[in-house]
Amino acid sequence: MTAVAAEGVWKYYGDYPALRDVMLRAEPGTCLALIGRNGAGKTTLLRIIGGFSKAGRGQVRIFGNDPRETQTRRRLGWIGHGISVYDELSAFENLSLFGRLYDLPDPRKAAMEWLERTGLERVKDGLVREFSRGMRQRLAVARAFLHQPSVLLLDEPFTALDDRAIAVLQRLLRDALAEGRTVVMSTHQLREALELATHVALLNRGKTAFQGERTAQMVQDPGWVYAHYGED
Amino acid sequence: MDFFREMWVITRKDLRAELRTKEAINASLAFSLVILVLFSFAFDPTEKETVSMSGGLLWIVFAFAGTLVLNRSFAREVPNDCLDALVAAPISGAALFMGKALANFLLVLAVELVSLPVFGIFYNVHWTSHFWSLMLVLALGTWGLTVIGTIFSALTVNIRLRELMAPLLVYPMLIPALMSAMQLSMDLIAGKPLGGENQIWLRLLVAFDVIFTALSLVLLETVLVG
């Protein structure tokens, strides 16, 4: 079954169509890099896929189900522009909180495991507001992976990450893909994204201009997709 | 995970975050105490005048002080885009709402329970003659305030002037609950028991709480996701 399917998705902000009849598919175990210029509709599309906002027309399905269904949400992981963890709580409290919200059998154990995997075990009791930017980003990554989601939705995941956080994220994404999980990520950082991606989709002014397998040519020349299918 | 566990996870999280920073509760408590003290010096009412204005004074103070707590409820989720993480989590909108409302209820009630003795001391009023009935009215009135405040906090969370907008929307909606709570509190402080003449106000307050709680439970998902 297709992991992520967007069919004829439209989204209006007032009279402005941010998305125009977008079609998108991602199969299990694939990594789809969603690229496009600023304002092309990448974040809007990811937010609709994640169930944060509703499409004006068309539909999105995650393994055949609506993204807002509780069981579907259990299978989704999300990293957006913000880190989505609480400054007033410690790293451990944050992960335990999300472990409980995702009804993990042992939230405290899962929290400790992911603190270790992201190199934050030494600061587990430190409040997030005291963390450096890189540590906060790694905690955000741990929060998104904590419940072992089948589909990971990442909005500009490499932006503002330090080298260590990029390495952690790339390693975790490779592991996730090897385990058959699906990754959909929007990005401007083509080089990092194309190293991981198995497929590429280009959004141009709210429309899908291209979707296909990533080729060796794209890795060698990250601007190739834009040059052939980009701006009119 | 069942509804009550989901709700309690949210309540605990909100209480823990608030008690670490004490941003809202300190502001609310300080506001409440300052207004009560200032009024007592400004008007110096007689005992009879105090009793007749007690309900109005207390509930105006509670409503304004409560808004300081309620405004923060969803605004707390804005930094770091924490609201996205809550919306993405596999919990029902109803549990999210009730969890937040319960945390707000406990915080506002704490402010009120500190303010009441201060009111008694500064206005020289014996307010404990119908203590448990007054506690019931306090709980019902505070729940009404909390429910309306929490849902409008969610509704205005993405508005730039939310600190201004939320009170503008909340107070008109609260008029029936505030009128009931004021009348009942005044009667109880004056020594009249619940029942008889003031029963209609009690019914109105209970009905307000039930109706707006039910509406909020149904509407939260729409308010947050559209």
Q: What percent of chain A has a predicted confidence (pLDDT) above 70?
A: 99
Q: What does the pLDDT read at residue A90?
A: 96
Residue A88 C-alpha, separation from nearest chain B C-alpha, in angstroms: 5
Q: With cut-offs at 50, 70 and 90, classify the pLDDT of residue B199.
A: very high
Domain chopping of chain A, boundaries: 4-229
Those residues whose C-beta lies under 8 Å from the C-beta of residue A67, and which sit 6 or more positions away, are A48, A49, A50, A51, A60, A61, A73, A76
Q: With cut-offs at 50, 70 and 90, classify the pLDDT of residue A30.
A: very high
Beta bridge partners of A61: A5
Q: Is the pLDDT of residue A231 over 70?
A: no
Total residue count of chain B as it appears in this document:
226
What is the rounded distance in angstroms from the CA atom of residue B206 to the CA atom of residue B141?
A: 9
Cβ A182 vs Cβ A29: under 8 Å:
yes
Q: What is the 3-state secondary structure (H, E, C) of chain B?
A: CCHHHHHHHHHHHHHHHHHHHCHHHHHHHHHHHHHHHHHHHHHCCCHHHHHHHHHHHHHHHHHHHHHHHHHHHHHCCCHHHHHHHHHHCCCCHHHHHHHHHHHHHHHHHHHHHHHHHHHHHHHCCCCCCCHHHHHHHHHHHHHHHHHHHHHHHHHCCCCCCHHHHHHHHHHHHHHHHHHHHHHHHHHHHCCCCCCHHHHHHHHHHHHHHHHHHHHHHHHHHHHHHC
* Cβ neighbours of B7 in A, within 8 Å: none
Candidate from B80, B87, B92 with C-beta closest to A87: B80
* Cβ neighbours of A98 in B, within 8 Å: 85, 89
Tell me what the mean pLDDT of segment B179-185 comes to. 96
- The reply to whether ipTM tops 0.85 is yes
A147 or A192: which leads in pLDDT: A147
- Can you say how many angstroms the Cα of residue B112 is from the centroid of all Cα atoms in its chain? 9
Residue A84 C-alpha, separation from nearest chain B C-alpha, in angstroms: 4
Quick: pLDDT tens for A119-138: 999 999 999 999 998 899 89
* Cβ neighbours of B91 in A, within 8 Å: 70, 101
Q: What does the pLDDT read at residue B1?
A: 63
Contact B17 A143 (CB under 8 A): no
- Per the prediction, chain B carries an average pLDDT of 92
Q: Tell whether B17 lies on the interface with A, counting CB pairs under 8 A.
A: yes
Contact B88 A127 (CB under 8 A): no
Which range is most confident: A2-6, A158-162, B161-165? Answer: A2-6
Quick: pLDDT tens for A31-70: 999 998 888 899 999 999 999 999 999 999 999 999 999 9
Q: With cut-offs at 50, 70 and 90, classify the pLDDT of residue A220.
A: confident
Q: What does the pLDDT read at residue A228?
A: 78
Contact A82 B16 (CB under 8 A): no
Contact A78 B84 (CB under 8 A): yes
- Residue of chain A minimizing CA distance to B83: A84
Domain chopping of chain B, boundaries: 3-225
Q: With cut-offs at 50, 70 and 90, classify the pLDDT of residue B126.
A: confident
Contact A84 B79 (CB under 8 A): no
Residue B131 C-alpha, separation from nearest chain A C-alpha, in angstroms: 37
* Cβ neighbours of B221 in A, within 8 Å: 68
Candidate from A51, A82, A127 with C-beta closest to B80: A82
Q: With cut-offs at 50, 70 and 90, classify the pLDDT of residue B195.
A: confident
Contact B80 A54 (CB under 8 A): no
Chain A positions touching chain B (beta carbons under 8 Å): 50-54, 68, 70-71, 73-74, 76, 78, 80-89, 93, 97-98, 100-103, 127, 143
- Residue of chain B minimizing CA distance to A153: B88
Q: With cut-offs at 50, 70 and 90, classify the pLDDT of residue B12.
A: very high
Contact A70 B92 (CB under 8 A): yes
CATH of domain A4-229: 3.40.50.300
Q: With cut-offs at 50, 70 and 90, classify the pLDDT of residue A169.
A: confident
* Cβ neighbours of B6 in A, within 8 Å: 101
* Cβ neighbours of A78 in B, within 8 Å: 84-85, 88
Residue B88 C-alpha, separation from nearest chain A C-alpha, in angstroms: 6
Q: What percent of chain B has a predicted confidence (pLDDT) above 90?
A: 69
Quick: pLDDT tens for B29-44: 999 999 999 988 888 7
Neighbours of A126 (CB within 10 A): 14
> pTM of this prediction?
0.90
Q: What does the pLDDT read at residue A194?
A: 84
- Residue of chain A minimizing CA distance to B77: A86
- Residue of chain B minimizing CA distance to A77: B88
